[in-house]
Structure 1
């Protein structure tokens, strides 16, 4: 493991799909990580993850992973104690549609307020912490794609793809369902971040990373059930199990979880990508249509399909969502994984966990 950088990173969302992979990558890069979790139990579960064990060997100075409990990340001064001694922040935690109750949706209570307020609480805590060098926030392509386009109801002109500087008008409740509320929360959080940076001119810089639909091998998953608790569930439910998806169509834009985590960590290491007092956005996405997934599985897992370990029972329609992530690939110096690579990794893990 590299030992050239032992600076301490404050990470939220480490128990989730993207967050856990980011934790692994941060440790492999030589950082120490303080994970902000909502309860002691979540912290204990996190530290018990098999994939984490080889990286938990402490050196003579400090343990590589610390746990700090922040029960409500949107509460006043939520991070003021957790951020002491921190050099970098990676803020991933945010309300997701799958975690919210069905039925009547209080969008302000379940999405907009917690997502926006938690982001501002983190920035305000960083502003009074002189050791902070950079804050990295996980947003979404939803932050600059209107809900009608994001849901496939309206098509974006392919000649005018979404870029890191695209922005959509803010939305206000009521919202028809959780998916639209999620989009609104990402828009509001990004707008709040950019406004705060412009008005505050902090000593540190801010990077926003905007993934599309995240898939790939989930190191946080210890069994098949937990694999279904990631955003891989769309592929597994709709295509492998043949269940009717709650999304009648899906955007033809995907990204591998390892690429998102890689961007988070390299955003800390690349000092020149944004100057102190400034905020910059990067897209994490590559084209990929869900209609291609059944063929990928049948081609690369023919034996497993034949003996019944893998089934291809359904399909998932998708719509084109033109996104230009070329500036990300130029800045970071590598290409995003393809849809086929993501599906191969995912189905291989599905077979292993069975």
Structure 2
């Protein structure tokens, strides 16, 4: 497909942590954004936040993304779709409470795009939860060919007894697989006019610009974990994963739509590997209001789960903020809210 450097982009889940930054990134890049929200009441905050962009910001009110045909009008006339909306339910009893909304919401958005000849690129925001195998032993480097099979197996075998994280990760895996299946079948039939690009980020941290409440618990889940580790020293010490700044992720999503060679690709984007202790040490150097690191820690210990981001670098040309910059800007954000 040719480069998509202007026009209108539909952003689903536009009022979430990642969604609002994605809206901003597309507006900054000169696009018109049609922001999908679940209710009219959600528009006021975004109208005020992005008032300087005038009529470059539009809204599509769709209360149920899983309802067949609910996105047809929202997609009409757009040049690209950035599907960032995804349910996060860590209290599900039946796995289908988590899996069905993720899969059906994705497929419904794809079906709407398939009916719309103006669409040239469909961007699906997935996760490294679909890539990293949490049951793997020993150090591993993951790339775009890797799939997390373990959590789907756990959910299939244990059902309601599967862990909440397994239910969540299975929903991400099955939703992404459904997107690829839909795309490959539609492409074979010649029934779509667009390319699919999937972006897989790891843990996403950084300052918030979405509407928040009075307490830090109103933040998205990943930033709440970030806050608990840095400010309250409550964290899982053995966690070994990767991270990305939300602003870099939003920029990556813009690049994934603008870059012709990103079509048909699965792309891992990550700034680097981390343990919570790395961020705690970084924060303690920047502020005396955070909790200092306690206990032994070897900063040179080998990370067991690392991501190979060469493909995204070669295709998108993306660079990443440092851990210090992300931590500093997040601490400033918490100070503004009175949480530090």
Q: TM-score range by the shorter chain?
A: 0.7 to 0.9
What is residue 40 of structure 2 aligned with on the other side?
Answer: 40
Q: Assess if the C-alpha contact under 8 Å between 2:45 and 2:211 holds in 1.
A: no
1:283 and 2:268 aligned? yes
Matched, 1:232 2:223: yes
Sort the Cα spacing of 1:199 and 1:156 in 2 relative to 1 into closer, same or farther, 3 A. farther
Query: Relative to structure 1, is the Cα distance of residues 177 and 252 closer, same or farther in structure 2, using a 3 angstrom cutoff?
Result: same
1:299 alignment counterpart:
285
d(CA) in 1 for partners of 2:145, 2:45? 38
Q: Does 1:105 align with 2:96?
A: no
Task: Identify the match of residue 199 of structure 2 among 198, 209, 231.
Answer: 209
Structure 2: gaps of 5 or more residues: none
Deviations 1:313-351 (A, max 9, x none): 677999631211121122222322222221111112222
Classify 1:5/1:271 alpha carbon distance in 2 versus 1 (closer, same or farther; 3 Å): closer
1:138 to 125, 143, 146: 125
Tell me what 2:208 maps to.
218
Distance 1:108 1:263, change over 3 A: same
CA distance in 1, matches of 2:109, 2:315: 26
**Count, aligned residues:** 318
The one of 111, 115, 129 aligned to 2:102: 115
Deviations 1:19-44 (A, max 9, x none): 10000011111111111111111223
Per the normalisation by structure 2, the TM-score is: 0.86
Q: Does 1:189 align with 2:171?
A: no
Distance in 1 of aligned mates of 2:217 and 2:308: 29
Q: Which runs of 4+ in 1 moved over 4 A?
A: 221-224, 313-319
CA distance in 2: counterparts of 1:179 and 1:210, whole angstroms: 17
CA pair 326-228 structure 1, distance change in 2 beyond 3 A: farther
Q: How far apart are the structure 1 equivalents of 2:96 and 2:262?
A: 34
> CA–CA distance in 2 between the matches of 1:41 and 1:26?
22
- Within 5 Å, give how 1:1-354 maps onto structure 2: 6-49=6-49, 52-55=50-53, 57=54, 63-97=55-89, 100=90, 102=91, 105-109=93-97, 111-146=98-133, 148-149=134-135, 154-158=136-140, 161-169=141-149, 170-171=152-153, 172=156, 173-201=159-187, 202-220=192-210, 225=215, 229-230=219-220, 231-242=222-233, 244-245=234-235, 247=236, 249-274=238-263, 279-285=264-270, 286-301=272-287, 305=288, 310-312=289-291, 320-354=304-338
Query: CA 1:46 to 1:225, structure 2 compared with 1: closer, same or farther past 3 Å?
Result: farther
Q: State whether residues 252 and 290 of structure 1, in contact with CA within 8 Å, keep that contact through their aligned partners in structure 2.
A: no
Alpha-carbon distance in 2 for matches of 1:135, 1:141 = 19
In the alignment, the residues of structure 2 paired with residue 42 and residue 219 of structure 1 have an alpha-carbon distance, to the nearest angstrom, of 14
Give the conservation status (yes or no) of the 8 Å contact 1:36–1:68: yes
Separation in 1 of the partners of 2:214 and 2:206?
Answer: 14
The runs of 5 or more residues in structure 1 that have no matched partner are 58-62
**1:81-105 Cα shifts (integer Å, max 9, x gaps):** 11111110000011114xx5x3x61
Q: Distance in 2 between matches of 1:167 and 1:252?
A: 15
State the distance in 2 between where 1:178 and 1:238 align: 20
Shift in Å, 1:175: 4.8
Change (3 A) 1:87 1:137: same
